[in-house]
Amino acid sequence: MLHKDVSNHSQEQPSTPPTAASLPGTSAARKHGRLLWFLIIPLMLCAFGLFTWVGKSHTQKALAASTNASAAEPVSVLHPQTGDLSDELVLPATLQAFSDAPIYARTNGYISHWYADIGQHVRSGEVLAQIDSPEVDQQLIRARATLNQSQANLTLAGVTTQRYQDLIKSNSVAQQEVDQNNQNLTSQQAAVVSAGADVKQLEQQQSYERVTAPFSGVVTERRTDIGDLINAGNSGIGAELFRLSRIDVMRIFVSVPEAYSQQISTGMHVRVQLTELPNQTFDGLVARNNHSINLATRTLMVEVDVPNPGGKLLPGAYGQVHFKLASPTRPLIVPSGSVLFQSAGPQVAVVNANNTVELRKVVIGRDFGNTMEITNGISSQDSIVASPPDYLVNGMPVTVQGHTDVQPPTTPKRS
């Protein structure tokens, strides 16, 4: 009876529900979820890193822009003013002597006397100084004695050779002796020629004791005095005895801008004016040009010869050369303070579209004091730095803070 109740009780117990592990497909779903998390987490980290990098990049760019803005040089700019229409090209130039030569000694010795001083006009071949060279004098005496001895030996050799030529006819001497005397005569003739050459060389050397002018001109320097020890040859400026310049014709080299090079021709008449002689004009002539445009300066080298019979024009003087142009041009006017005068020559600082500096070489025309004419190197549309500091360099960033007007020249205009 008890057994039956137990069995009935066991039959009446409810059945246990199935667990998740026992459901079909549950294990595969859990593995798929874990795989998704492994993919999502790195993607989230990459997105977060990318977002951080983009934000940092924008911050660095903003910081760099702020730093560049603070490092940029503040400047004021101006536009060149167009000058008056002119049919003349006026260019600066320095006068040079037509011929200029240092005078050196050709022999060793001591200065015994000098005959020309600075400012003295001398003629070609005129004696400038006398050098005492006793060694050369004694060598010349010895060479002349050797020449006399060689000539005496040659005379004796000639007489002896003739005597043996007469004796051989009667077989009084051997042919061997005749040949020996003929050979001795030839040897003595060569000795006379050699001794004569030595004498001529020393005579030429002795003639160098007289220092003479190679051309007619004026002595511009005298670097020697009585008693100075002189060494032969060109051994530098310190070895110069004199410097001689021919100034009856002056030579002027002018750098003509490329824009005007086709209007310059050989034989063209020009006018030259000097700063120290403002009321005088000197006529010159274009003698030649180098037929080549300089790549650095974009100019044509032109030589102008100016007659100077009165000697008013001096070597080294500053002047202005006026060229009459076939077609009129308009120069540009800029303030004098906007031009940089450095080792590279006159330059102006131009601000380009990127707000950086470009240093451009320019050719200066007339100088009006506060303003200058620029004949080549810039255009009227360029933005010029009004007062550039000396430390401006190519590519330097700048900030434009204002514009300045160019004041017109105050000097009288050229007719």
Do 167 and 188 share a domain, yes or no?
A: yes
- Strand, coil or helix: 338: helix
The contacts of residue 379 (CB under 8 Å, 6+ apart) are 80, 332
In DSSP terms, which residues pair with 376 in a beta bridge?
Answer: 363
Considering 156, 187, 207, which residue would you say is the last residue of a domain? 207
Query: In Å, how far from its chain's centre is CA 374?
Result: 22
Domain boundary among 218, 240, 262: 240
Q: Is residue 1 part of a domain?
A: no
Does residue 305 contact residue 261 with C-beta atoms inside 8 Å? no
Q: Is residue 15 part of a domain?
A: no
Instruction: Give the residue numbers spanning the domain of 149.
Output: 134-207
Instruction: Tell me what pLDDT residue 10 has.
Output: 44
235 with 256, same domain? Answer: no
Per-residue pLDDT of the chain (415 residues; tens, 9 = 90+): 434 443 444 444 444 445 444 445 555 666 666 666 667 777 777 777 777 777 777 766 655 555 554 567 888 999 998 877 767 888 998 999 999 999 999 888 999 999 999 999 999 999 999 999 988 889 999 999 999 999 999 999 888 888 888 888 888 788 888 888 889 889 989 999 999 999 999 998 888 899 999 999 999 999 999 998 888 877 655 588 999 999 999 999 999 988 788 889 999 999 999 988 888 999 999 999 999 998 888 889 999 999 999 889 999 999 999 998 876 667 889 999 999 988 888 899 999 988 899 999 988 877 788 888 887 888 888 999 998 988 888 889 988 887 776 665 654 434 3
Place of tokens 């050709």: 106
- 367 exposed, middle or buried (CB, 10 Å; 0-12, 13-18, 19+)? middle
Is 165 within the bounds of a domain?
A: yes
- Does 234 share its domain with 259? no
Q: Quote the number of domains for the chain.
A: 3
Give the residue among 55, 75, 82 at the shortest CA–CA distance from 379. Answer: 82
d(C-alpha 2, C-alpha 6), whole Å: 6
Query: Residues 152, 252: one domain?
Result: no
Is residue 336 included in any domain, yes or no?
A: yes
Looking at the structure, do residues 300 and 346 belong to the same domain, yes or no?
yes
Domain-located, residue 52: no
pTM over 0.85: no
* Partners of 96 in beta bridges: 251
User: How far apart are alpha carbons 116 and 125 in whole angstroms?
Assistant: 13
226 part of a folded domain: yes
Among 210, 214, 220, 208, which Cα is nearest to 121's?
220
Q: Are residues 391 and 285 located together in one domain of the fold?
A: yes
- Judge if 269 and 379 occupy the same domain: yes
Q: What is the 3-state secondary structure (H, E, C) of 58-89?
A: HHHHHHHHHHHHHHCEEEEEECCEECCCEEEE
Residue 55 forms part of a structural domain = no
Q: Do 257 and 177 share a domain, yes or no?
A: no
DSSP state of 107: S
In this structure, are 227 and 252 located in the same domain?
no
Q: Residue 413 and residue 65: Cα distance in Å, rounded?
A: 48
Burial per residue of 111-131, b for 16 or more beta-carbon CB atoms within 10 angstroms, e otherwise: beebebeeeeebeeeeebbbb
Enter the DSSP assignment of 150: H
- Reading the block at residue 130, the tokens are 């006398």
Which domain CATH number covers 260?
Answer: 2.40.30.170
Give the CATH number of the domain where residue 146 resides: 1.10.287.470
Task: Examine the fold and report which residue of 156, 182, 207 is the final residue of a domain before the chain moves on.
Answer: 207
Query: What is d(CA 269, CA 242) in angstroms, rounded to the nearest whole number?
Result: 35
Do residues 288 and 396 share a domain?
A: yes
**Cβ distance 374 to 362 under 8 Å?**
yes
Same domain assignment for residues 264 and 150: no
- 345 lies in the same domain as 386: yes
User: The domain that contains 124 carries what CATH number?
Assistant: 2.40.50.100
Name which of 305, 411, 317 is nearest 365 in CA terms.
411
